[in-house]
Amino acid sequence: MTTAMNAPDGTHLILTPHLDAPDDFYEALLDAHQGLSIKDSHAFNARLVLVLANHIGSLPVLREALAAARG
């Protein structure tokens, strides 16, 4: 697997481990889902994706992320 995909505008999606504390993030993500119904959990995930997409702000990078997530 390629570690970074180059987008036409020179931006890239980082596919190598990049989180300072991935286990801590995973725990926080699980905690955020505690007590939510399946419907509310899905809605939370959708809102989280939109918040993170806004933070990334680059459509080419987001398209790369979508393709990477599909496998």
For the stretch 1-54, pLDDT in tens is 444 554 444 478 999 999 999 999 999 999 999 999 999 999 999 999 999 999
- Confidence (pLDDT) at 10: 45
* Residues 8 and 18 sit within 8 Å (Cβ to Cβ): no
Please report which helix (H) or strand (E) contains residue 68, including its range: helix 59-70
- Confidence (pLDDT) at 11: 72
For the stretch 53-68, pLDDT in tens is 999 999 999 999 999 9
